[in-house]
Chains A and B, each alone.
Chain A
């Protein structure tokens, strides 16, 4: 995330508006929240695909809810502590309030056939959303790799597929999958190629 400092930081009012939007619109739980955060980062130019992937990776190796950590990290990156407070408040206050109201209402309508039928449509829609985001993030990482040569594209694709299979088929815990992916990458990739290092060096202030 070193490249961040080369861009002008967004205004706090823009941050508040963006995170309130995410907090209010992300019905459907975590998949839509992550989708909207990703979209905001990319379209507003807060982070590029590689930076987003790195932030999302780093927050998964500390305790707590990943999306709240991601929000805190992005807010802090953009505008330090005020940015962090505004991002967290914007994401959490509306969504927590709506969650409490829905909790109060849910027990009452849970059994209604209309509600149950609509839920059977919402859940597959959230799966479609998270697939769309996964494809977009995979593309970001693999495009990076392709520029460094075919060997890296193959090793990157293999790591990605292995992580998916370990979790989906092998039922390995997510933390173990990430640890294995990190170790395997150190063994397989053997240091970033010189071209990549030079490119990174240029981004540093």
Chain B
């Protein structure tokens, strides 16, 4: 494996995509074609990304570890961090233009769109993963606990795991 090419493939995936799994199609195509990863690496990496702390995008680090060990995870970490600096340019540009009513409306629209998307994503996830009343009960209980703002997030997740174990095992 060529570390420079490896790093470039990971960097390219982040540079030309957005969101946690946006780089998946790029890495899937490139690493499979080179024979540097197989399907099970991708499935395991994505599963770990869903439960480990931090953004789902850290699945990329799991993939780095599975395909290239510690060096792979370190290269993946740098490759997913560097492109984020471009967001500072967008924010600076926005600040320069934000006095314009048209820019204010556009930004407001994106903000509303983002919140709408988060409900859309929750719905899609719900349809894909919750199949019975037990899942619905856990969703509602977690929603109530989080809305009370008295329970730390890690406790909500631990209770979810405990409920899953009691209800499904």
Chain A residues close to B by CB (< 8 Å): 1-2, 23-30, 32-33, 35-36, 39, 53-73, 76-77, 84, 88, 91-92, 94-96, 98-100, 102-104, 106-107, 110, 113-114, 116-138, 141, 156, 159-168, 174-175, 177-178, 180-186, 189-192, 197
Contacts and interface: CB of A to CB of B under 8 A. Distances in A.
27 contacts: A26-B53, A27-B53, A28-B50, A29-B55, A30-B56, A35-B146, A55-B91, A56-B114, A59-B90, A62-B83, A63-B18, A66-B19, A68-B81, A72-B87, A84-B88, A99-B62, A124-B160, A125-B138, A128-B140, A129-B142, A132-B147, A134-B115, A136-B147, A141-B115, A159-B113, A164-B117, A166-B120
A189 B73 CA distance: 46
Contacts of B164: 117-122
Contacts of A120: 135, 164, 167-168
A117 B81 contact: no
A123 B50 contact: yes
Where chain A touches its partner, the secondary structure class is: helix
B44 interface: yes
A147 to B, nearest CB: 14
Interface in B51-92: 51-58, 61-62, 65-66, 70, 73, 77, 80-81, 83-91
A134 B153 contact: no
Contact of A30 (B17, B55, B102, B104): B55
Nearest to A123: B129
B130 A124 contact: yes
* Closest 3 pairs (CB-CB, A-B): A121-B164, A185-B109, A128-B142
Contacts of A189: 105, 108-109
Contacts of B111: 53-54, 56-57, 141
B6 to A, nearest CB: 16
Contacts of B28: none
Contact of B146 (A68, A132, A156, A178): A132
A127 B20 CA distance: 16
Contacts of B53: 23-28, 32-33, 94-95, 98-99
A124 B139 contact: yes
